[in-house]
Every structure is written in C-alpha cells, then in structure tokens.
Amino acid sequence: MNDAQNAPAAASGPVRRSRDVPMLVERARAGDPRAVARLITLVESGDEVLPRVAAALAPYAGHAQVVGLTGSPGVGKSTTTNELVRALRARGHRVGVLAIDPSSPFTGGAILGDRVRMQDHATDPGVYIRSMSSRGHLGGLSAATPQAVRVLEGAGCDVVLVETVGVGQAEVEVASLADTTLVLLAPGMGDAIQAVKAGILEIADVFVVNKADRDGADATVRDIQGMIALGERGPGEWRPQVVRSIAARGEGIDDIAAAIDKHRDWLERHDELRRRREARAAAEIEAIALGVLRARIGSLRDGTQLPTLAAKVAEGAIDPYAAAEELISQLGS
C-alpha cells in the first residue's frame, strides 16, 4: 500500500484532489492507498477541512500500536524499519510507516525519501509507507505527524512505525508520540556519550545496538547497560531492554520485536498505555490551540492593536508582560 499502489486507476482522478472527507475516509478504511495519501496530504498542508478529517477519524483512534525509532544518522534506522515491517507482516499485521525526512531548503519536500530504502514492501497491500518532510519542525518529527498517525489508524493499520529525521540530540519528541520508543545506536560512533548528553536514557524503552558485528559492540552494550543501572526506578518500573542486531542481514529483528512485545505487555499491566495516550492527546490539543492562537495573533498584525502595544513598550509606557495580557484579552473578545 505504498502511496499510490493497488488502487483502481479510475478512482485516482476523484481521489487525488478530493476534499470530500466522508468519501476519503470510507475509501481509506477499505484500503485504498490513494485515499490514505490524500488524507495525509490534507493533514500536512493544514487544509481548512482538517477539523472534519480529525472528526471523521476520531472513532478509529487508539487501536494501532505506535512504535518510534530514533537515533543518529547512519545507525541503520531505515534498514531496521524495513526489517521490522517484514517481521510484522509475517505475523499478519497491517503496517504503516511514517519516515520523517529533513526538508529541502528549496521546495520544503522530504530530501531523503526513505521509501527508496523500503522497496521490498512497495507492492504489499498490507503496508503503507509515507515520507514526510520535517519542514523545519524541531524534535525529529513533522508537526503533522500526530494527525498522520491517526490517518493510518483509520486506514486499519495494526502497527504504525514512526522513524525520526536522524539529526542528533534534539530528537526526543518521538517519545511523546509513541507507545514504545526504540533508540538505535551503533559501535564506533560515540553514541554512548551522545546518549548521556541527549538525555536519551529517559526516552528509550528499548535500546538497539545495530551493526553489532562491528568492533566495539560489546563495549557499547556495556556502556548502555551501565547507564541503565545508574537510573533511579521504583518498584515495578520499566527497565529499558538492550538488544543487538545486524539489520542489514536481518539478524536480531525477532529479538527487537520480542522486546517491543514485552514493553507492550508491561504498558497494559501497569495502565501506562492509557496514561501515555492521554498525555499524547493532551499534547495534540495544546499544539492545536497554540496554532489557533498564533494565527489570531498574526491577524492582529494587520490591525492597530499589536502595533500600538509595541510602540508603547518601545517607549517605556508599558511593560511587555502587561502588553501581552492586554493582547490576550483582545484575543478572547
């Protein structure tokens, strides 16, 4: 189900530019990849029908397992994702992949196009792969990622894999989106030290030491296990797993899948899955509300209120906090 795969040619015309939300959701539920692609495009572009898309998808939310994969460039995130898709399909799961890529400074589009690395699944109707541009959004994700996950849930995906940009120490946002977060590291890249600097110890549910056939793999595993041992945990709290893999040869993928399963069982037993998903929903609501407020503040720039307040602050007649309070009161009126 790779974007435009496996859909009747006659359907492509009305779907490709359609803004008929009920029709698009119905076709996405039926497995039409063009409808899924169109819905994600509407989400990414912030189309005015987005609230209707969200309302139509709401009944299908919360059914997919969301797994995040993050780590530095070159650790093998895309290869690991590709092999995880293979393992999940062997279990009979429908799988969605959101591969977040850096933005082109010229077009704003995704530069790397991780779908190129996942062509093994291009003709599989049970797999949907979408590259999304980060569009300058920090944290390793795209601002549209949470709603794109909802689209894939609505399309009947049992598991959604979210692969982050791969830019380094700021990539912690995926932990607020995923049920289970995998942090990939590789020997010889200084990742153990980077993990300490980035606070990755706090966001990883599973550490994957990929390229484990390289020299230094044992030392990397020991470093990570040592950091885990230093972490403070109460009784019954999750202890991050450390798994070795050689994703390029398909080795260790079953161990990664088993670690994900173990974490999912722990989440359900300790009611942590509900807590995480409620926190995710709260973050979504907050982001949407802040977006609306920013848009309203932007519209004030065309009027007189904001320039008047700015002039008063500049001449010392009023302080910026008081000006902000006055501006907020204007937004509510």
Cβ neighbours of residue 290 closer than 8 Å, sequence gap 6 or more:
none
CA distance between the termini of the chain: 47
The SS3 assignment for 100 reads strand
pLDDT of residue 190: 63
Averages of pLDDT over each 10 residues, the chain, 333 residues: 46 69 93 93 89 92 92 89 96 94 53 56 87 57 80 95 70 80 85 55 89 93 88 86 96 97 96 92 86 78 81 94 88 67
| Domain 61-271 homologous superfamily, CATH | P-loop containing nucleotide triphosphate hydrolases (3.40.50.300)
pLDDT of residue 1: 58
> Which residues face 101 on adjacent strands?
133
Q: Can you tell me the distance from the alpha carbon of 319 to that of 327, in angstroms, rounded to the nearest whole number?
A: 12
Contact indicator for 64, 149 with CB cutoff of 8 Å: yes
HEC string of 138-199 equals CCCCCCCHHHHHHHHHHCCCCEEEEECCCCCCCCCCHHHHCCEEEEEECCCCCHHHHHHHHC
Helices (H), the chain: 9-16, 21-29, 33-45, 50-57, 77-90, 145-154, 174-177, 191-198, 200-203, 217-230, 253-269, 272-300, 305-314, 320-332
Residue-range domain boundaries for the chain:
61-271, 299-332
pLDDT of residue 7: 42
pLDDT of residue 162: 94
